[in-house]
Amino acid sequence: MIDSFVVPLLKILVVLNATLVGVTYMILLERKVIAWAQSRLGPMRVGPYGVLQPVADALKLMIKEDITPVRADKWVFTAAPIIAMVPALIVYAVIPFGPEVSLFGRPVTLYVTDVNVGLLYIVSVASVGVYGIILAGWSSNSKYPLLASLRASAQLISYEVAVTLTLVSVILVAGSLSMVSIVRAQESGHVWFAFLQPMAFVIFFIGGLAETNRAPFDMPEAEQELTGGFHTEYSGMRFALFFLAEYANMIVVSSVATTLFLGGWLRPFPNVAFLSFLGIIPSWAWFLLKSFGFLYVFIWIRATLPRYRYDQLMRLGWKVLIPLAIINLVVTAIVKVMVH
């Protein structure tokens, strides 16, 4: 009873809350890092160094007036932010934050579940998230959001191909679709897959930037051209849901990249004995540290690089990343067969 019901529920509760808190603080981190990159201070008023800014933001968004345009399609307009948010959250079910640990004298795994098609589950759930953006643009019944949502969905579909192909080459190396087994494969293989699959790593990272609509691929919200993007007509909490979904997706991409390429919860050099003092930092902390590294790079890139033009973005996706991913996959398969 406790093992089959209470523990999973508690885990889901912890993961969901941690994600939402993480997302709100990601927004603060982004504002701070970009401010520092531009020689500003960023939010400083609410709490010491502005650490309570997310609380103030959340309060403000919740008490704001919620406007539905008269000509909008009400049902779809209401459903779109939810459709964007839910996939971004349920992906965390299969992300392993750590191995089995003992907590209060009871073995507890630091992941909600380990399904044998974990990686495919993430890809498929993420592919459903596109609907939130498309439907938001369409149901607003307004031309700029529609244009933005068409751009966004074209971009997401194009980059999804490249990203999924890189995942296949990782699956080939690991020999499993389960997220936990992929980390274990890196442990027993004594190497992070970032070194075995450098090409896949780079393509995954670029594709991840594009799939989360981050700079330099933040085409769907190019303010100068689209007056804000697919969520132009949204206000209050519904707008906040889109915002949260975007940051939750960033955390997903970072977590997946950490699991697949940087050894997940493993400490650096898990096979080198004299570095075992690194083990005093718990496994989940290593995981969070690596994911945080990715998130920081995301923000850093946004502060550094200008936005791509739309045709350049499509050319990069279809003519560079997808062929490279296919070549990488074929080479990986050939090497795998030859080694066997």
Partner 1 sequence: MGEAVAFYTIAAFILGFAVLVVTARETVHSVLFLVLDFLFVAALYVLLGAEFLAVIQILVYAGGIVVLYLFVVMLVNLKRPPEAYQDPQRHGRVGLLLALAVLAELVAIAMWTSGTPTTPMPAAQAFPVTGNTEVVGWLLYTRYLIPFEIASVLLLVAMIGAIVLAKREL
Closest alpha carbon to 328 in 196, 183, 210, 179: 196
User: Is 116 a residue that touches partner 1 (CB under 8 A)?
Assistant: yes
Number of residues lying near partner 1 (CB under 8 A): 24
Q: Which residues contact 317 (CB under 8 A, 6 or more apart)?
A: 155, 158, 159, 161, 162, 210
Contact 260, 291 (CB under 8 A): no
Cα(217)–Cα(178) distance, integer angstroms: 30
Distances (CA, A) of 256 to 126, 148, 190, 265, 281: 12, 27, 19, 12, 21
The least distance separating partner 1 from the CB of residue 122, rounded to whole angstroms, comes to: 9
Nearer to partner 1, 103 or 157 (CB): 157
How far apart are CB 134 and partner 1 at their closest, in Å? Answer: 6
* Pick 141 or 235: Cβ nearer partner 1: 141
Distance in Å, CB of 303 to partner 1, minimum: 32
Nearer to partner 1, 153 or 254 (CB): 153
Please say which residue, 178 or 291, places its beta carbon nearer to partner 1: 178
Verify binding: residue 131, partner 1, rule CB under 8 A.
yes
Question: Which one of 72, 135, 194, 322 is in contact with partner 1 (CB under 8 A)?
Answer: 135
H/E stretch holding 109:
strand 106-109
Q: Tell me the C-alpha distance between 2 and 335, whole Å.
A: 46
Task: Supply the minimum distance, in Å, between the C-beta of residue 154 and partner 1.
Answer: 8
Site residues for partner 1, 164-183, by CB under 8 A, read: 177
The nearer residue to partner 1, 41 or 117, going by C-beta atoms, is 117
The answer for 319, left when phi > 0, alpha when psi is -120 to 50, beta otherwise, is alpha
Site string for partner 1, 51-90 (x = CB under 8 A): ----------------------x-xx--------------
Q: Rounded CA gap, 32 and 41, in Å?
A: 7
- Asked if 138 touches partner 1 (CB under 8 A), the answer is yes
| Residue matched to tokens 């927004």 | 27
List, as one string, the DSSP characters of 89-100: HHGGGG---SSE
By CB under 8 A, residue 336 contacts partner 1: no
Give the binding site for partner 1 (CB under 8 A).
73, 75-76, 115-117, 120-121, 123-128, 130-131, 134-135, 138, 146, 150, 153, 157, 177
